[in-house]
Amino acid sequence: MKRLLSIELQKIWQNRASKVLTIIYFLSLTLLASIALIEFDFGPFKFKAADSGFFNFPYIWHFTTYVASWLKIFLAVIIVSMVANEYSYGTLKQNLIDGMSKKEFLLSKIYTILLFSLVSTLLVFGISLILGLKYSSFTEVSIIFSDLEYLFAYFLKHVAFFSFCLFLALLIKRSAFTLGFIFVWFLGENIGHAILKYKILGYKPKDKDTVVIDWVKDALPLESMSNLIVEPFSRLNFIKSITNTVGANFENNYAVQPIFIGIVLFWTSLFLILSYRILKKRDL
Amino acid sequence: METILKITNLHKKYRKVHAVNNVSVEIKKGNVYGILGPNGSGKSTTLGIVLNVVNKTSGEFEWFDGTYSTHDALKKVGAIIERPNFYPYMTAEDNLKLVCKIKNIPYTKVFEKLELVGLLDRKDSKFKTFSLGMKQRLAIASALLNDPEILILDEPTNGLDPQGIRQIRDLIKVIANQGTTILLASHLLDEVEKVCSHVIVIRNGVTLYQGTVDGMVASEGFFELESENLAQLESALQQLPQIEKIEKDENKLLVYLKSHLEPGELNTLLFKQNITLTHLVKRKNSLEEQFLELTKH
């Protein structure tokens, strides 16, 4: 495992673009901490991030994991380009000729995905812990370390998304097309669902078809990943009070739901198995 | 003699093309083999299969008597296929170190092999700054990193300038002289004739000949004869039992032999019939002529 990781990390680290992206990614993660400094004054509506409740334990776990996971696109670009490069440089072929097995080749990419996700999770954990200790109104140990499943969800979400990227990059072999495809896929999940629900079926709340379609959407790869950590904002008291005065009422389930963990695990294994299948079957 | 690679009844079918058709080959330790074949004859596909990058349709192949799995066996093999494949953004040295990691060997040979191919002073240059000849030499250094049991070279001089071709050839000779088994695929016949002891000829995926270079060119050969009176010469020759056929080439006769005949013997025989020769040469077909003969449709 150490050997495979060191091979893959050399490939990434000696490539200037990947190196810069990695640095940008981990810097931006660290800079997330500066959200705490946000402060604005809007007439009657005063907002000070540090006092808003964002950083209260255990809510902060939910908040930081949600916000930080948007940055994963930086790492996705690295993974996609490192896989696509292996095809365009002909180095996948050369690696195999030099005595790497196809399994080892895939494992070296998977270990890297796990490492990136793990480092990112640990960093988010550290940052949240520091921010929380500084600004949280509650600092009892039992409260601090409750709701840690958000970190697990964060880790899983990254592993799943990167596996998706790995699979598509192996399939498509071109980094620009792969990234474009991921974006189109993302739009497709949402637009396809919207068209079906509102245009074709006509929106009927609680209708059987609508419920089924919502469920199908929730089970799609990107949607299920995003459902692992739902948006945390409407959970905050001051936003709740605003929406209540407007008349809207959110009844979200904010917890990490096991069903989505299951669905995401299914997609992740499927992507990895299919990646191996592609490597095995394809002549170079 | 130890067998390094044994291929038995190998087939590869792409949708419509039968690229490799029942190829069986045995590579023994210490020999230098040439695989000859026109472009598209299935040489590279065969090599691709034993090198784990192309999937076979049927048949078997076995490295080192099957004592290793294919990818572990390949760690003891050095191979260069068609064009040098390295990471363009890495330096020569880093590229070789990466290969060491893949082959699971220490970095100790990196400088030695860079020196051997004359790239030691460019070790810190990125691969993308190299000329094609330098890239090809780096590929050879990389293939030699593990002091391989066998070196496989697929068209190593393709696209090189004359100096580059010369350098690669000299390198191959040096390596062959060290006793390394070499498998050299090429359609350049003089290349094969100069360095190989054994040849395998493939056309349209079928093996046409397999054996020593000497065996391939060892037909009885032919005479080139000239005389004042060709008609008389020709009728005299037709009496001889050793002769297979006679061809006319301008004012020369090309006389092909069925069985052995010494030039002196022939001269004496003809002289007894009052025929004086003005030109007498005994020749053998070169590998090239023999190859073209074999691969003719």
Mutation to test the A interface, candidates B86, B101, B104, B126, most A Cβ within 10 Å: B101
Q: What's the confidence (pLDDT) of residue B54? A: 93
Average pLDDT over residues A236-245: 64
The model's confidence at residue B261, banded by pLDDT at 50, 70 and 90, is confident
Band the pLDDT of A240: cuts 50, 70, 90: low
Q: Which residue of B has its CA nearest to A2?
A: B101
The tens digit of pLDDT for each residue in B225-239 reads 888 888 888 888 888
What are the tens digits of pLDDT across the range B97-120? 999 999 999 999 999 999 988 899
Which amino acid is residue A210, in one-letter code?
Answer: T
- How would residue A77 be classed by pLDDT, with cut points 50, 70 and 90? very high
CA angle B39, B43, B45 (to 5 degrees): 110
Q: Residue B126 carries which DSSP code?
A: B
Q: Which residue has the tokens 């230098």?
A: B32
Contacts of B69 in chain A (CB under 8 A): 101
Q: List every span in chain B annotated with CATH 3.30.70.
A: 222-295
Task: Give A42: exposed, middle or buried? Use CB within 10 Å, 0-12, 13-18, 19+.
Answer: exposed
pLDDT at A273 over 90: yes
Closest by CA position to B89, among listed A16, A23, A92: A16
Region(s) of chain B under CATH 3.40.50.300? 3-217
CA distance B114 to chain A (A): 17
* Inter-chain touch A7–B98, beta carbons under 8 Å: yes
Q: Which residues of chain A does B102 touch, with a Cβ-Cβ cutoff of 8 Å?
A: 7, 95, 98-100
**B192 — pLDDT class (breaks 50, 70, 90):** confident
> What percent of chain A is predicted at pLDDT more than 90?
55
Q: Which residues of A touch B85 (CB under 8 A)?
A: 89-91, 93-94
The residue count for chain B: 297
pLDDT value of residue A103 = 95
Tens-digit pLDDT profile for residues B267-290: 888 888 888 888 888 877 777 777
* Residues 6 or more apart whose Cβ sits within 8 Å of residue B74: A96, A97, A98, A99, B51, B52, B63
Residue A83 at interface with chain B, using a CB cutoff of 8 Å: no
Q: What is the pLDDT of residues B238-252, one digit of tens each?
A: 888 888 788 888 888
pLDDT greater than 80 at residue A49: no
Task: Give the integer Cα–Cα distance in Å for A178 and A176.
Answer: 5
Band of residue A58 on the pLDDT scale cut at 50, 70, 90: confident
Q: Detail the DSSP E strand segments found in chain B.
A: 3-13, 18-28, 32-36, 58-63, 77-81, 150-154, 181-186, 198-203, 206-212, 222-227, 243-249, 252-257, 277-283
Mean predicted lDDT score pLDDT of chain A: 87
Structure tokens at A283: 């002549």
Task: Spell out the CATH class of B3-217.
Answer: alpha beta
The pair of three-digit structure tokens given for residue B250, joined into one six-digit string: 């301008």
Close Cβ partners of B227 (under 8 Å, ≥ 6 residues apart): B233, B275, B276, B277, B278, B279
Reported as a pLDDT band with limits 50, 70 and 90, residue A245 is low
Q: Residue A134: what pLDDT?
A: 85
Domain B222-295 has CATH 3.30.70: yes
**Shortest Cα distance from A2 to chain B (angstroms)?**
10
- The Cα B241–Cα B259 span in angstroms is 9
The SS3 call for residue A142 is helix
Instruction: Please report which confidence band the pLDDT of residue A185 belongs to, taking 50, 70 and 90 as the band edges.
Output: very high
Q: Answer yes or no: is pLDDT of A91 > 70.
A: yes
Q: Which of B89, B96, B104, B151 to substitute to test the interface with A, most A CBs within 10 Å?
A: B89
Q: Which long-range contacts (CB under 8 A, 24 or more apart) does B50-54 make?
A: B50/B5, B50/B7, B51/A96, B51/A97, B51/B77, B51/B79, B51/B81, B51/B152, B52/A96, B52/A97, B52/A101, B52/A102, B53/A93, B53/A96, B53/A97, B53/A283, B53/A284, B53/B81, B54/A283, B54/A284, B54/B12
CB contact under 8 A, B102 and A281: no
- How sure is the predictor about A237, in pLDDT bands with cuts at 50, 70 and 90? low
CB contact under 8 A, B98 and A96: no
**What's the pLDDT band for B264 if we cut at 50, 70, 90?**
confident
Distance, CA of A195 to CA of A207 (rounded, Å):
16
Which comes out higher in pLDDT, residue B170 or A100? A100
The confidence band for A251, taking pLDDT boundaries of 50, 70 and 90, is: low
pLDDT at A36: 67
More confident residue, A265 or B160: A265
pLDDT, average across residues A245-272: 82
- Which residues lie across from B199 on neighbouring strands? B34, B211
Does B55 sit within 8 Å of A281, measured CB to CB?
Answer: yes
- Residue A166: CB atoms within 10 A of its CB come to 25
Structural domain for A249, as ranges: 2-281
Q: Is the pLDDT of residue A250 over 90?
A: no
Residues B22 and B201: their CA atoms lie apart, in Å, by 13
- CB within 8 Å: A99 and B88: no
Chain B residues in contact with A6 by the CB 8 A cut-off are 101
CB contact under 8 A, A99 and B72: yes
The verdict on a CB contact (< 8 Å) between A10 and B98 is yes
Residues of chain A in contact with residue B104, where contact means CB-CB under 8 angstroms, are 3, 99
Nearest to A97 among B72, B74, B88 (CB): B74
Contacts of A90 in chain B (CB under 8 A): 83, 85
As a whole number of Å, the end-to-end CA separation of chain B is 36
State yes or no: pLDDT of B16 exceeds 80.
yes
Inform me whether the C-beta atom of residue A20 falls under 8 Å from chain B C-beta atoms: no
Beta bridge partners of B185: B35, B154
Q: What's the domain count of chain A?
A: 1
B148 with B180: CB under 8 angstroms? Answer: yes
Residue A167 banded pLDDT, cuts 50, 70, 90: very high
